[in-house]
Amino acid sequence: MTHKREKILRGIPVSHGFAQGVAFVYRPYLPHLDEHVLEPDVLAGEVRRFQRAVKAAERELRRLHARVKREMGHDFAEFIDVQLALLADEEVLSETERFIRKRGRNAEFAYEETLKRLTRPMTKSDVPLFQERSMDVVDVSARVLRHLLGEELPSLYEVLPGSIIIARDLPPSEAALLDKEKISGLVLESGGKTSHTAIMAKAKEIPAVVGVESVCREASEGLPVLVDGYRGLAILNPTRKRLNAYKSDFELYQRHRQSLSLLVEQEPVTADGKMIDLSANIGFSAEARAALRYGARGVGLFRTEYIYLARRRPPTEDEQFEVFAEVAKMLNSRPVIVRTFDLGGDKVIPGYSESNPFLGWRGLRLCFDNVELFKGQLRAILRSSAFGNVKIMFPMVSALGELRRAKLLVDEAKRELRKQGVKFDEQLEIGVMVETPSAAIMADQLAQECSFLSIGSNDLTQYTLAVDRGNERVAELYDHFHPAVLQLIRQTIAAAHRHGIWVGLCGEFASDPLGILVLLGFGIDEMSVSPGLIPEAKNIIRTIDTQSAVEIMDDAMKLGTGLEVKRLLRRELRRRFPKLAEFLFELEMADSRNG
């Protein structure tokens, strides 16, 4: 539907900033294929038409390969190599041509039927690699079919600069490849504050709003769109008046960013002198550079799943080693906490399906069932520890036995490396993510058997409240400030300290100004946020004194609802730190962001 008139759609702001651009409506390509019986005299021409379509698809893929390689690195272009190989598969090509000639059918139908027949064993296979490849088969066939049908293919890698991506959803593997240089903003119908696509947008500093109902129906290709990543608005076809009104917001935002940039060199130390380890969450080695640029003290969470998902296949031990070693060297002696694969949940490996993925085969559970994959990763991390200050962290721990089992596998990996004479840090520290209620409740026991804890508030919130972190229908119930979540965070911090180890938080809670206030009140040692948010977090940490934060939290913990907690935090922040509050809430974002 095209709009002559302006339309304001509301959603959840997940990545700050404003963007003005042109809609690129991303819809998965589902071609409509008809079967036609052809006369014998046109069959040779039909075969030629098929060959031309394959050639055109190949040219396109080669161009795409060159671009992805240039912009994102060789690693990420690799899946296009796979697609090129699939496209050129002799059997598929000759069988399709045979189908056209012998059965007298149109090229689209012949190609689709041939692919289905030849790839059936692959898609039905239990071998993960084959299942993953089925995604590439779908991509390749869509490309050829689009040429045959003369239709447009929606491709996120081929958008024009200044595009605002509008989609129902984006799998994290696609989101991982979003190119900030071209994509100004992102608006999704699905998702919640801490869905991995939202986190990826934040990491790439692309203003994003999710949970925007029916935006795909309302928007049309090329429509002007304004994304307000503060208030959570997608404004379709904004009026001149609206654009003018936003001018001052754009400027204010720029001024904020500039004033924050002065903080890069400053230490993240509270007003009363407590040093907080303010680190960065990264998913790719390129983000480590951004982390340093923004003044991070280290990498608090390296999400390694994207190395897998962006490649669309399991990375080898050597490939992982190269990535981890590169980051370790870049960070020099600063800590780099590598989290082992947290696949599953919403970072699902293509081809696997579960009715309840967040409660199913995820994180360590999946790794224990793929021991070779897991040990390969452990060896890669260990090897990289010879080049910097690397630590290992395990996700999705829900029982002490899992930590013990994972540690045994680390020992095994160490023995293997020693045997081969490969160097690694013998003292390498092992930490646990506390992101299930059971881990938080068992924090005392866990703390006795590891070197640090890092609270994964994104999952801890979802599992404590039984609210899917990526489901827009229940997004209102997803609340970090729910007293139950706060209690678990507080008791985890206290447990770590009782056992003399440090504790951090690497979920999105630490990117929320009010969340930082809470964490300072609970006595956290470390926080890890998206690289681009480090200056803002520093600003907050440097303004607040721990005594005030403790007092505020003593009061907050007596309250019964998340809303009451947030109201109190906001009120106290305004009362005790008016300048900070003014800075934070100047864009009147407080209500929409935290309320």
Interface residue list for ligand PEP (CB under 6 A): 199, 301, 303, 342, 435, 456-459, 506-507
Kindly state the helix (H) or strand (E) to which residue 318 belongs, with its residue range.
helix 317-331
Q: Measure the CA–CA gap between 468 and 328, rounded to whole angstroms.
A: 34
Collapse the DSSP code of 391 into the 3-class scheme (helix H, G, I; strand E, B; otherwise coil) and give the result. strand
**What is the SS3 assignment for 353-389?**
CCCCHHHCCCCHHHHHCCHHHHHHHHHHHHHHHHHCE
Q: Which is nearer to ligand PEP, 187 or 489 (CB)?
A: 489
Strand order in the sheet with 7-10: 7-10, 233-236, 224-228, 18-26, 163-167, 183-188, 208-210, 12-15
Residue 105, binding choice from ligand PEP, Mg ion, none, Cβ under 5 to 8 Å by partner class:
none
- Residue recorded with tokens 């504050």: 193
Residue 410, binding choice from ligand PEP, Mg ion, none, Cβ under 5 to 8 Å by partner class:
none
**Is 498 annotated in some ligand binding site?**
no
**Which one of the listed residues 147, 196, 256, 482 is annotated catalytic?**
196
Active site residue 497: no
**What is the SS3 assignment for 524-565?**
CCEEEECHHHHHHHHHHHHHCCHHHHHHHHHHHCCCCCHHHH
C-alpha radius of gyration, the chain, whole number = 25
**Is 472 annotated in some ligand binding site?**
no
Residues 6+ apart with CB under 8 A from 562: 479, 480, 481, 482, 483
Residue 173, binding choice from Mg ion, ligand PEP, none, Cβ under 5 to 8 Å by partner class:
none
Residue 506, binding choice from ligand PEP, Mg ion, none, Cβ under 5 to 8 Å by partner class:
ligand PEP
Closest to 511 measured CA to CA, from 483, 477, 538, 479? 538
Tell the smallest beta-carbon distance from residue 23 to ligand PEP (Å): 28
Collapse the DSSP code of 159 into the 3-class scheme (helix H, G, I; strand E, B; otherwise coil) and give the result. coil
**Which one of the listed residues 216, 367, 450, 506 is annotated catalytic?**
506
Q: Measure the CA–CA gap between 526 and 278, rounded to whole angstroms.
A: 6
Count how many residues are written for the chain.
595
Tell the smallest beta-carbon distance from residue 519 to ligand PEP (Å): 13
**Is 106 annotated in some ligand binding site?**
no
Q: Which is nearer to ligand PEP, 303 or 312 (CB)?
A: 303
Tell the smallest beta-carbon distance from residue 456 to Mg ion (Å): 4
Tell the smallest beta-carbon distance from residue 594 to ligand PEP (Å): 18
Residues 6+ apart with CB under 8 A from 37: 104, 105
- Residue recorded with tokens 């809430």: 585
Q: Which is nearer to Mg ion, 132 or 342 (CB)?
A: 342
**Is 303 annotated in some ligand binding site?**
yes
**What is the SS3 assignment for 135-149?**
HHHHHHHHHHHHHHH
Active site residue 506: yes
Tell the smallest beta-carbon distance from residue 420 to ligand PEP (Å): 32
Q: Which is nearer to ligand PEP, 106 or 377 (CB)?
A: 377
**What is the SS3 assignment for 208-248?**
EEECCCCHHHHCCCCCEEEEECCCCEEEECCCHHHHHHHHH
Q: Which is nearer to ligand PEP, 207 or 507 (CB)?
A: 507
Residue 303, binding choice from Mg ion, ligand PEP, none, Cβ under 5 to 8 Å by partner class:
ligand PEP
Closest to 166 measured CA to CA, from 204, 222, 205? 222
Residues 474/468, Cβ–Cβ less than 8 Å = yes
Tell the smallest beta-carbon distance from residue 431 to ligand PEP (Å): 12
Q: Which is nearer to Mg ion, 211 or 456 (CB)?
A: 456
Q: Which is nearer to Mg ion, 228 or 459 (CB)?
A: 459
**Is 101 annotated in some ligand binding site?**
no
Question: Contact positions toward Mg ion, by CB under 5 A?
Answer: 435, 456, 459
**Is 469 annotated in some ligand binding site?**
yes
Tell the smallest beta-carbon distance from residue 318 to ligand PEP (Å): 25
Q: Which residues carry a binding-site annotation?
A: 303, 339, 435, 458-459, 469
Q: Which residues carry a binding-site annotation for phosphoenolpyruvate?
A: 303, 339, 458-459, 469
Q: Which residues carry a binding-site annotation for Mg(2+)?
A: 435, 459
Catalytically active residues, by annotation:
196, 506
